[in-house]
Structures are given as structure tokens and as C-alpha cells.
Amino acid sequence: MTLPKSITTFLEEADKRLAHRPKLQQLFRNTFPNTLETTTKLLDDGTTFVFTGDIPAMWLRDSTEQVRHYIPFAKNDEQLQRIIGGLIARQIFYINIDPYTNAFNETANDRHYRDSDDCHLNPWMWERKYELDSLCFPVQLMYSYWKEAGQTDIFTNECYQALTSIVEVMNTEQRHHERSNYHFIRQTKQETETLPNEGRGMPANYTGMTWSGFRPSDDANVFAYNIPSNMFAVVVLGHIIEIATEIYKDGRLAERADKLRREIDFGIRHYGIVNHPTHGPIYAYETDGFGNYCLMDDAGTPGLISIPYIGYVGTDDPIYQNTRRFALSFDNPFYFEGKHAKGIGSPHTPGGYVWHMALSMQALTSDNEEEIKELIQVLIDTDADTGFMHEGFHPDNPADFSREWFAWSNSLFATLIVKEMDKNMI
């Protein structure tokens, strides 16, 4: 794809600003346009298919994060508007096919990650893992595109249908075991890839929060209510209220979204905070509402470290600060250290791996410039001389990594560098 003019102009400017740091300059030139150059397809129907990289499917979550850093350039760039507006239309199309699906095919080609999955697959679905965040990211994208680029042509009848469906699913999943038909069973020895209890997940108490089967890492929840994803739901339900009110003039949809938002936030405040013996009050990663908690953080977004990034609270929130200290300590079972890096990993990758995305997110949510500078240098030093970011890597040997082509990780790194250039800190 020929890069939009606004992107080439910015890359030329960035080349000059980063000339004093040649490796960072090259990393940025590789990572910033990576999604546009390698994972974006303009389709004949006017929509845009953005696949994740080394997997030929489009994730609702990943595709949003792959293009978010382009939104500030879209206001006066019609080519970029075609790309991002087309992606939003494609996401809406997919949600209206099935709001419980996390990843879709480009066409109804009946390709699936696992043909044996018991979860009511249809030919459009690459994988049907219900992940609450997958309904949040497309709303965030359309809202940001509206607010930053001033575009309203995305708000079609199909968009209204998708927004209504999102509210309905979140409402249904507040009482998953009583109201929902969703289940997922994968014939695998790996527990993180399937749901227990005949695919329904473990029992949960009503809290006001809304259920999710899987985490942003695509691993199964341990407990029913993923706290960071519910926080994200609170934020995007606020966006839906505004869109329903200002664009669609639908007070009924706005009222339903507001009621749901308040109930989920109540659940977070009353069921999602745990008194840790070392760190004090912290946000749990998951809970079942019966008093059981999963105390950890995962490299995927949304996670606990990314709470300010998704907009639930700011970095100065005292419970967030306690939670951040927990997540960046060995009290978090997925925090790892080695000779070349230290940071958050995931059960989704081999034990001991640190994720580049987690390091980028740690810097994006930091208010300490020394910490940010150190993290950027670690990111530069651990690319294994490939010129790109990866998924997980061994902190003692960055050449031992997963996913050579992972566009989301490249985009998040580029987002960090743009932010630091805007602050004149690089």
C-alpha cells in the first residue's frame, strides 16, 4: 500500500528529530508504518481488513490498537480516512455477524484456528472466544475517530445496531449462567485455551460487573469478572452514552448504557479491590464475586498496568499506584527479570518471557521521565537486531522470542515514541 501523505510527511520529520539516535530512528521508521505497509487490505466494499501479522485473521482488539496512532493524522487526509473509516465499518460488520467472536476471516472461507472447537462456529469466524475487551476497542476507535478527526459518516444504521448489540450482550453477561447461551470448549491439554464446567466457565456471583470467558491475551479467565476489561467497559459505555445522545438522539439507548455503566462501576469498586499485605489496596485482575481473586497482571491490554491508558483512572489514582507497584514486583506471578530486561509477561507465552508490549505500556503509563527513558532503551536493546518489536522474549536472551511479525506490538512502541517526541523528551 502507498502510504498516506500525512504519514510520509511525519516519517520525514521524525527521521530528522531522531537522527541523533540511529537505531531508534530505524526502529521507528520500521514500526510506525508497519500496519499500513504489511497488514492492511482495502476491500472492494469500501471496508478495510487489518490482520494481526503472522496470523491471517482480524482481531477486533488488535486491529484497533494497530491503527490508533494514525488517528491524529486523519483529519485532513482522505486516504487515511478511507483506511480508518473502512476499518470501523468492517468491525461493525463483524460485530453484527456475532458479538461473541474475537477474530474473523477476511471472507466467509470457513477457516478456523481449530475446526474442533465446540462454540457454534460459522464460516466468518476464525475463533469464537468471547472477550469483553473485544467489544470495547471498536467503540473506543469510533469515538476517538469522531472526536479527533471530526468524522461522523461512520455512524450508520449498522453502527447503531452494533452499539445496541454491545449494550445487550454486556447486560446479558451480567448474569451469565442464568441468561447466556455462550459456551466454549477446545479439545486441548492446555487449560488456558478452554473453559471449564462444560464450556460455561466457573460459577459466579452477581456483582454488577459483566462476565468474560477469555482475557485480552486470548487465555481463559480463571474467574468470571476480569477487572481491567470491566473498567474498559465503564469507559466505552460513557462513549456510547455520548454517541447515542448526540448522534442518534436516542435517550433510551443512552439510559440503558448509563444504567449498565453505573452497575459495572459499582461492582469494580465493591468487588474488585483487595487489601494486599504488602502493597495495600490494589485492583484484582479477576474475581468471581464469591470472595475469590486472581492477583496477577498480564501483558495484554487491557491489564492492570494499562488502567490509565484505557481511561478509567489517572496515573495519580492511589489504588492504581499500589496496583502498579504490585504488578511490577515478584508478587505478580507473571513478572520476570533477566540480564537484559525486567517486566510483565503472560501465561500465553513460555514461562519467564517479558513482553515488549508490556514494556511499552509501562512507559506509556509512567509519570517518571527517568523510568520512561530506561524503558525505551530496553526496548531498543531487545529487538534482537530485527528492527521490530515482538510478543514475548527471554530477558536473558532477547534473540529467544515469539512472533517475529506482530503489528500490535510495533504500533504500541511507535505510540510511545510519538508521545515522547511530542513532549520533546527524545
pLDDT tens digits for 279-320?
Answer: 999 999 999 999 999 999 999 999 999 999 999 999 999 999
pLDDT digits (tens, 9 = 90+) for 94-117: 999 999 999 999 999 999 999 999
Q: Which residue has the cell 468487588?
A: 271
Question: For residue 293, which phi and psi values (nearest 5 degrees)?
Answer: -135, 150
Inter-residue contact 410 to 31 (CB < 8 Å): yes
- Global pTM value: 0.97
Query: In the prediction, which pLDDT does 191 show?
Result: 77
Q: What is the mean pLDDT of residues 328-349?
A: 97
Query: In the prediction, which pLDDT does 319 show?
Result: 98
Q: How do the domains of the chain map onto residue ranges?
A: 5-422
Contacts of 399 (CB under 8 A, 6+ apart): 384, 393
Query: In the prediction, which pLDDT does 188 show?
Result: 78
> What class has domain 5-422?
mainly alpha
Other Cβ atoms closer than 10 A to 141: 22
Contacts of 283 (CB under 8 A, 6+ apart): 227, 228, 268, 272, 273, 274, 304, 307, 319, 320, 323
pLDDT at 17 over 80: yes
171 — pLDDT class (breaks 50, 70, 90):
very high
pLDDT digits (tens, 9 = 90+) for 116-145: 999 999 999 999 999 999 999 999 999 999
Residue type at 54 in one-letter notation: D
Across the beta sheet with 286-287, what order do the strands follow? 225-226, 286-287, 293-294
Q: What is the mean pLDDT of residues 69-73?
A: 98
pLDDT at 426 over 90: no
Query: In the prediction, which pLDDT does 190 show?
Result: 74
Residue type at 280 in one-letter notation: G
